[in-house]
Structure formats: structure tokens, C-alpha cells
Amino acid sequence: MTRISAIYIYPIKSLGGIELNASAITRRGLEHDRRWMLVDEKNEFLTQRAYPQMALLKTAINIDSIIVYHCNKPEDVIKLPLYPAAKETITVRVWDDYCEAQYAAEAINKWFTQKLGIGCKAVYMPDESKRKLDPDYALSAEDITSFSDGYPILLVSEASLEDLNSKLQIAVPMDRFRPNIVITGTNAFAEDTMKHFTINHSNFYGVKLCGRCAVTTTNQQTGERGKEPLKTLASYRTINNKVCFGQNIICESGGKISVGDEIIIIETAAAGKIISL
């Protein structure tokens, strides 16, 4: 039986994630997932691709705040509001998308600049900001996402990681791949062909395999970067010149998911054919 084995959100893009027992599903993905991100002086997004030290900033959520702390100094914390009061917006860039966002307070920006050693500002995506999905993969013209790389939810199976680790000299943990939903009870890479499935009566659709980057080679606990697992993945998971691991999915409507929930597969891609890149 295929079930959810773990749920993760990343309240601030490219910083540490939070493991949850349950999560609400919104039009943008899991609730609170990547509604905040850091931008440079040009208001362009920052990620671990260029700044692996971002992995060392961990996050937690209390009733009305996101708590951020450096993993080597957990007593040194800053709090960001889950829902900022400020209404003035600026235009920020995520890949080729431009969308409206709100600045954090200056004290918050100074904290991030000091901890990361780079000039940066924290920005929040308000409800009014609608970042549309690539129409080639969207279910409808109304589909949106947060500050994620491009899609609302990332799905990975435990079996896929086990398959990869069987080929590595040193196993890597799931956090290298920063999934939202982890599933168990499948064959390796079964998520590749999960075209339509339900969880708690909510409909989910696999729309695009996830092309992987240098973030997977960054140790999420130390910030150190190597060549694996990307080197090994490239040897057997290169598809259309992309190194693939995991499936980007869209939820057709809202709902709630919990660890242990059963996944009912409605439709798979044709035999031998994976979801398009």
C-alpha cells in the first residue's frame, strides 16, 4: 500500500525545512511553503546554488511567526511574521518570473546579511501576488505557486532514494532533495509515472519530472559541497539532458494531508513513458 511517510515545508526558500505530521494544501502548495525568500540588491532571488551557507539557517514555526536560527548558534534567532502587516510591494524575480512581494523589517534584513555574509533582504509573497505556472504543464490558467522553483509540490519516494543510495559509497539523506511529500510502498521511481492520484479525496497530478542541480550536492547540516549524489544520478537518471529525481505535482483543489495517508493511484503514464520534461 502506498502511503505518505513524511511531509516537509520550507517557509523561506533555500533555508532549512520543517518536518510536519500534517499540512493543509493551498493553491500554491503546502501551507506556508516558500512564502518567504531572500533577494539581493537587485531584488533577484538567492538560493543554495550560489550560497550553500544558506543551508545552515534552520527554521521553525510557532503560532504566528517563523523562527530562524543558525545551526551552530541556535540561541541566536530572528522572527519573521507568518503574515506581514505591511502592504507596500516591490517587484522581485524568481528565474524568469517577476512577481510582487513585501519587504521584511530592516532589522530582519540586517540579521540575514550578517549571518550569510551577503547583502540580502527577506521578502514575502502576499495573497494578492499571483505567480502563474508554466502553461505547458499547468492544469489551468489559474494555477499558481509560491517562491518555489516552479511548481507547488515536490513528490519523492523512499524507494527512489534507496535505489540511489545502493549505488553510492556514502548514502545521502532525503533532505538533499528537499521534497514536500515522501511516499513509501512503491518501486523505485514509481513517482515518475504517477499521472493522477488522490490523497484524502483531493486530486493530485504529476506534471513534470524534477531536474536536479548542485543543491543536491550540499550537505544540509554542514553546508559543505561535493560531487555526489549528482554525479551518480547523472549516470542513470539523465533524461532529455536533465538529471531527474522526483516529480513535480499540482493539487487540483485544497485539502489536508497527513503522514500515514493512503495514496490511491488513478492513472499512470503509458508503460515505458515518463511524465514530460
User: By residue range, what is the domain housing residue 264?
Assistant: 3-268
Report pLDDT digits (tens) over 4-34. Answer: 999 999 999 999 999 999 999 999 999 999 9
Residue 145 lies in a domain: yes
Residue 276 lies in a domain: no
How many domains does one find in the chain?
A: 1
Residue 275 lies in a domain: no
Residue with cell 547523472: 234
| Mean pLDDT, residues 107-135 taken together | 96
Residue 66, SS3? strand
pLDDT given for residue 272 in this prediction: 54
pTM of the model as a whole: 0.96
What are the residue ranges of helices labelled H in 85-171?
106-116, 158-165
Residue 273 lies in a domain: no
Confidence of residue 271 (pLDDT cuts 50, 70, 90): low
Residue 134 lies in a domain: yes
Residue 41 lies in a domain: yes
Burial tier of 140 (Cβ tally within 10 Å: 0-12, 13-18, 19+): exposed
Residue with cell 527512489: 160
The one-character DSSP state at 176 is G
pLDDT given for residue 127 in this prediction: 94
Residue 167 lies in a domain: yes
Q: Could you tell me which residues are beta bridge partners of residue 20?
A: 7
- Distance between CA atoms of residues 215 and 218, nearest Å: 5
Give the CATH number of the domain where residue 65 resides: 2.40.33.20
Among residues 264, 159, 261, 137, which one has the least CA distance to residue 210?
137
